[in-house]
Every structure is written in structure tokens, then in C-alpha cells.
Structure 1
């Protein structure tokens, strides 16, 4: 009897250890954050544990600081204004050249509308599988949430691709009307496109029918109701942005005019005339010529 009791005790101890190890891998319920503590949040996952972390000092940008993208600003602003007013609005995909203001435009919407209840939740690509959990976490809240997926692109057969596709349009569970998705990407269709895929296209009675691989890739981007395209800046547009930021750093017109040649050389060295490059040059130039912090 004593041996049997000892064996049973050992067995139960092993079962308890096994259950403890399983608990470490099972997802724990996500505790809602203090929604009043911030206007922006970041979804963080570490193994089986996930949480929404408040971003207490978000990088906000004024709409007025976005130069030479007035059409894109107007269209996303109108969509966001509809959203915060509780009216129908579209998920938005911002695509195009790097450094042209895609992410900055989304941040500018938060700056403009956070006082009206707009909130932003940043979700990394590797965490897109958690989108249904995030949606359920904010369902029923009075705030209006933008789920922000920055610099988004997928390789073939990534599971996160289908997770995003399902949340956008295709899941049986309805997405609440206080949630919208804004995504930025350098790829218009979010996935790599190959020359061989074009060979799959067919001509039927004068109509072009895409191949299955291309159809699959287009189907994700088509789930975004609003497409905004960003293009490389011309030399004049690039210099306009440089001048804007130098004025923001407090430099006078004479110093700004002298910066022209250096600004063009800076862009040539970086191989890009983008808004980001213009901002970086202005910071460097202002620092070397007595500029102050940005107003």
C-alpha cells in the first residue's frame, strides 16, 4: 500500500509539472489597458503572452508639415473625418516610394483627430494573426480605433496574409464600426510579383483574365476601399520641403537660400529626393548653422 501511494504521488507530481509547462504556452486573457492613459497603443506579443502597451509619447506630425502631398492628405482626411463622426468609411492602403509621407500622414490624422476620440493601435506584421483578438478587445468602446500596419509586405504563403485578408473582408465575424485599418507599403499589392505570373493571363473574347497567382495577390489589396499612391518628389518639390523644415528650425531666408546646393548634394549622396531625406538634411543643416528645435 505504501509503494502504491508513493507511485501515485509521483505520478500526480509529474502531471502537475506537465500542466505547469502547458500553462506557460497557453495564451493568457488580454487585460484591457487604461484607455485614458494614451491616444496611441502598441500590440506586443511575447510567446503566449500578449498585451496592449500605451505609447505615452507618440510621434505626432502636423498636417501642415506634409508638403506636396495635398491630394493624399485631403482624401485620407475626409475618410478619417467620416470615421470619427461615426459615418461609413473605408480601410486605407497607402503605397509608393519610400520616405514620401505615407506613415507621416497616418500620424497626422491622429494628431488632428485624437481630441475627437480617434485612437491608434500599431500592429507589427508578425502579430497580424492576433487581429481578431484586438478587434474583440476594442469592440463596444466609445473611441474610434485605427489599426495601423506600417511598412507592410508579405512573402508567398505567409499566414499573416490570410489573417489580414479575413479581418478586412471575409470573416464570418463582423468587424465593429469603431475599427478601421490603415496600412502602408512599398508594394501596391503587398506581395512580390513575378514576370512568370503575367504569362498566366488569358485573353477571352477580348477580355484579359489574370492568372490565379495574380488574382490571389490583387484580392488582398482590393479589400482596402481607399488606395492612396505616393510618388518620388521632383527636385523643386524636394527643395520646397527642405525650405519648409529649415523655416521650422528658425533659419532666416538668407541661410535657407544658401542651403540649396548642399541640399541637392545631400539628396544625390542618399540616392533619393524624399521627404525623409529633406527632413534629415534640414536637421543637419540647422544644427550646423544655429537653428533651434522645431517649432
Structure 2
């Protein structure tokens, strides 16, 4: 039997523990908002969601048209593909995935982007359960995906894309970026496998084959690089010297949309111009 003094002490302890305990997080409203970030357990809104305007992405016109069309189909509830955007660094793969969703949102389409980390694939079925009953369309964006040799995650992702128990729901499409066309690198050990070297390679190809749309992004030619800079410079009222722009790329060992934008930032800094 607890006397009055002990009861009061227990109540004070209980009150203190209740104050220390974190308040239960309110679930995010996935029916509104433009973009979300999923951490493997919970989704949180990305505010503001302000990707680069799709018209500013230069030198990838075919990729823009095809991805925008596919995303529009999905927003309308029509047949649409999961997409693999692969190729050179800095050529706009991630920027295009986000810009395509934002462009349709600007048109009033009810579609949202959800960013998911590439190291939480085994937890995606939990996210799918959350998204499936929501009455809107989603693009699940996974950036810079890659797997260690011997990882089981490629088979898990294949199952999600086609035919598995954890298959993504109809209102979700996956947009994945990778520096490699087949996502996984081919190791020399696979080529030398005395049992069946072809099986290892086929297993890799089977993953990229699950994406109905595969868009390649190649290193920019000199003309394409200069065209990107020209467009950015016109928008921001900057003048540039062709040879200076080429030297900037040469010093960095590559030509890409990212390198072009970094040059614009440098040019704006030199001339005292603020970039918005």
C-alpha cells in the first residue's frame, strides 16, 4: 500500500518523465506540399522547394522532353515509366528530375517529389505503405545510387520495380540517378569467374533493364559548354570572354553544366553582381 507521501513522490517522478519524453511527432500531410525528404523512417517537407527552372537547363533538350513527358503522364494517372538517369557528373541529372516535377506543379498538376537516401533501400517498403493510400502522384527520387560488390540491395530494388512483394504502388514512380549506365560496376573477378562469368554480368544488367526509360547524360562538348554559359550570362546580364571560360573548364579537367554555373558564379563575383 502506498502512503500519501510516497504517492506524491511517484506522481512528481511521473510528471518529470512525461516532460522529458519527446512529444509525438505529428505525421506530415502528404496530400499538400511540393516536396518531401524521407530519412528512412519519417517524411518531412522540403521548404522551400525551388529547383532550377527547366528552361534554364541547356544542352539536354532530348532528355528534358522525354522526362517531362513521362512525368506528365504519371501526373495524369496514365502509363509512365520508372526512370534511370545515368552519365557524366554535373550534366543535370538531379536538377532535371526535380525541375520536371516543379514544372508540372507550376501548371497546377497534383504531383510531389520525395527524396530518399540511397542507403535506406531496405526501408522503402515502409514508405510505399505510407504513400499507397494517398490520393496524389509521387516521384520517388534517389540520387547517385550505387552498390558495393556482393550487396543484396540490387535484387531488392529489382523486386520493387517489377513483380516483387514490395513492389512500389501505382501512384509512385522511381527516378534514380547513377554515374554508370548499369548502376553496378563490372569487377574483374566477374570476368574471371570459372563457373559462369556471364551470370554475374547478366545479374547487373537485369537491374537497369527494370527501368522502362533510361536517359544518358554525356560530357559536354566545347560548343555545348559555351552555350550553357551564354544562356546563364544572358539571364544574369553578364559579359564573358570565350577563352576565359574555356580556361576555367580546362583548369577543372571537365566541361559540364555544373562547371559552367561555377564559372558564372565566379564571373558574378568578379563584377560585383548578385545572383538570385
Normalising by the smaller structure, the TM-score range is 0.7 to 0.9
Aligned counterparts of 1:291 and 1:273: Cα–Cα separation in 2 = 24
Cα contact 2:86–2:93 (8 A) shared by 1: yes
TM-score w.r.t. the length of structure 1 is 0.79
- What is the CA distance between 1:119 and its match in structure 2? 0.6
Aligned counterparts of 1:158 and 1:221: Cα–Cα separation in 2 = 16
- What is the CA distance between 1:233 and its match in structure 2? 0.6
Partner of 1:57: 48
TM-score w.r.t. the length of structure 2 is 0.84
Query: Does residue 264 of structure 2 align to residue 273 of structure 1?
Result: no
**SS of corresponding position for 1:35:** coil
Among 89, 94, 99, the residue aligned to 2:90:
99
Distance 1:135 1:30, change over 3 A: farther
Among 50, 57, 60, the residue aligned to 1:66:
57
Among 232, 240, 247, the residue aligned to 1:245:
232
Cα contact 1:102–1:184 (8 A) shared by 2: yes
Aligned counterparts of 2:274 and 2:26: Cα–Cα separation in 1 = 42
**SS of corresponding position for 1:126:** coil
Distance 1:217 1:201, change over 3 A: farther
Of structures 1 and 2, the one scoring higher in RCO (CA 8 A, sep 6+) is 2
**SS of corresponding position for 1:77:** helix
Number of residue pairs the alignment of both structures matches? 251
Partner of 1:218: 205
**SS of corresponding position for 1:217:** helix
Aligned counterparts of 1:30 and 1:190: Cα–Cα separation in 2 = 36
- What is the CA distance between 1:225 and its match in structure 2? 0.5
- 1:23-57 per-position Cα deviation (integer Å, ceiling 9, x unaligned): xxxxxx99641225631111114xxxx21111111
Aligned counterparts of 2:164 and 2:31: Cα–Cα separation in 1 = 30
- What is the CA distance between 1:72 and its match in structure 2? 0.6
Give the unaligned 5+ runs of structure 1. Answer: 1-28, 203-208
Give the unaligned 5+ runs of structure 2. Answer: 1-23
**SS of corresponding position for 2:275:** coil
**SS of corresponding position for 1:76:** helix
RMSD: 2.2
Aligned counterparts of 1:54 and 1:158: Cα–Cα separation in 2 = 31
Aligned counterparts of 1:30 and 1:126: Cα–Cα separation in 2 = 24
- What is the CA distance between 1:134 and its match in structure 2? 0.7
- 1:59-91 per-position Cα deviation (integer Å, ceiling 9, x unaligned): 412111110111111111111111101001110
